[in-house]
Structure 1
Amino acid sequence: MKITDVKAHVLKPLDYQFRWKEEWPPRTIEHILLRIATDDGHEGQCITWLMSAGEIESALPGLRTLLIGQDPHDVEAISYKLTDGLKSPNAVSSTVDICLWDILGKHHGVPIYKLLGAARHRIKAYASTVMYETVPEYVDIARECYEQGFRAFKLHAFGVPHKDIEVCRAVHKAFGDKMDLMLDPVNAYDRLGAFKVGKVLEELDFYWYEAPIADSDLLGLADLTRSFKIPITATESVTEGLRGYPKYLMSHAVDSIRSVGDWIGGISAMRKSAALCEAFNAKYEPHSYGTTLVQAAHLHVMLAIHNCDLFEIPVPQGILDIGMADVIRVERDGYVNAPTKPGLGYDLDWREIEKLTLKQL
């Protein structure tokens, strides 16, 4: 099997009128569909939302030179070269890696997680909110998520300690005995604010406390980790990925590592990150927020490891399901089942892709 073509669709940008942090304005997000074809008729596909049209247009000539004629089974060699030995990952290299694994699954007729070595066939999901304007809105979305089957719920609140405490108390009062609760202020607090919120979250028995302060503040994170029983998780903004995680693990600055797999090097980098965390007896809880195929890439890794508890689903469900015939949804018991189709396991809606395509490269 050899790679014969690499092409991309620049899709119509979507105006997402939502945000995850108070100071962030609503923004327009570009989507790129990358397609890698092979001589046996299989095609690896991934829609990314972390890559711009300019980036993929600039990258395509080099990608074609590198990839055409290669065997997708050499995914480790290819991805390692694209990321300069995992020192310089980015959205382009990560999306290529995801496409290559998609090809391998399709070629062998199995979902990717079985190629990686299945640890399980389903995983508990949690609802991951956008930011709302009022406390009652958070209670309302928590109720909606519970009714859909979610038994875990993560708040992206205001990033302001006293306001976030109010939200957490309100949601806990309504659903604390029904769902595991988490808070992610997206690195918004200073150390004092982080400790104030942490005391309340511990009192409320939250499941984890995510990105309370800047990921670069290792001493502050370590103080929080030592001070609270509630698990502290961080590191999504560590853009070098795998090479950046050892210092957090060696200093016990966090209880679990978060990563954006569609940035740090795709499925190949995530499986290595999971093994690194396992060696330190730490959890690996990848961020799986994104388009359906990005979510799927994370899901396959999570199904192939033991040191991960929860799969992240953006809510309201469907807000990032651009161009898809198949989607990922929580089951009534709070779990997400493994896909049964080969590769990533979720098909594109080609009629919708044609409507969305601004330019094919």
Structure 2
Amino acid sequence: MNRPDLDDARRAARDLGGARVPRHVPVSLERALGRVLAVDVRAASHLPVVDSAAMDGWAVSGPGPWRLVGSAPAGVGPDQACAVATGEGLPRGAEAVVRLEAGLVDQGMLHAPAPPPGRDVRPRGEELTAGEVVLARGSTLGPARLGLAAAAGADTVHVVVEPRAVLLVTGDELVDSGAARPGRVRDSLSHLLPPVLHDLGADVARSARTGDDAATLRDVFAGPYRSTVDLVVTTGGTARGPADHVREALRDVGARTVVDATAVRPGGPAVLAVVPDGPVVLALPGNPLAAVAAVVTLLAPLLDGWLGRPDEPLVDLAVPAGAGPVPAGGGTRLLPARLVPGAREPVLLGHDGAGMLRGLAEADGFLAVGPDGRGRWLPLP
């Protein structure tokens, strides 16, 4: 079987997301944090609106010394000065600003070294010009961008409606409380995956446990979720053993498979498919580290494309000696790692087996080591 490599799998997932037709709604700036812009934000006016003082001091005209005028509704003439505060519009005729700490006032006259024209002046439109695109669609709205939108005159912004998702964790061997015991494993994915999906941009409508037999999975893919959600994420049943029924159930409902396993370890057995007139399905492996590895491999680019976020290339990183040899079978290995400021290579955290979580708990992301030994960085959400 020819499995796509990391780049091809991510490209296929992004293309699938980009082909979906997202909805968008207007929201107030107070409700827009973390949302993705669907429509460009344009400046409603110049910023500054007029030439303005960049410092507290005096607006002056001519080389000085300057005669102080209390107010200047008609502007300042040659060798006149008028007190101004930071951000205040300059009177007509002003050529520069003398900083407060640089001037000396004596008998109604301001004495200071003559500033060059334009000193400590913010020209009209220095930061924004009316009609200019200040935030492009696809931008994620963090605090500074919300501040810029407000400065540009926006009261509301149009944001993409996040795909509505359901997470279904399968596995009869899972227990909901207490410690693991022979034949029984504590369910960690119900706690781990919902916030990960949310941080990547999915609206998790529901998270539940369900059976992993073929009949139950057929109902999941073709039943009530078919018309109520945009994305179904399942865990488990993606291997090719006798107890793994995801592929069978997807075939039975006529789903189109986009990615049928990848040449990435862990997480390789993940399946990405589309149910006719229904949701996108991402079937993750049941092992915790493998599930998260498949999320960063497939779900992150899928949602980037869906929401219109820019395609960020993976950053090259040096591979530490402790990464071990390139596997004989080829493919890409994902190793939990942490970035340390100033270091030229990431710190590998070990505990990188498919069923482990300890390394992931300390990680910032995965170091992806390709079959050519090249290292690249996949950040965790």
- Normalising by the smaller structure, the TM-score range is under 0.3
Greater Rg over alpha carbons, structure: 2
Q: TM-score, normalised by structure 2?
A: 0.24
Q: TM-score, normalised by structure 1?
A: 0.25
Q: Which has the higher contact order (CA 8 A, sep 6+)?
A: 1
More helix by share: 1
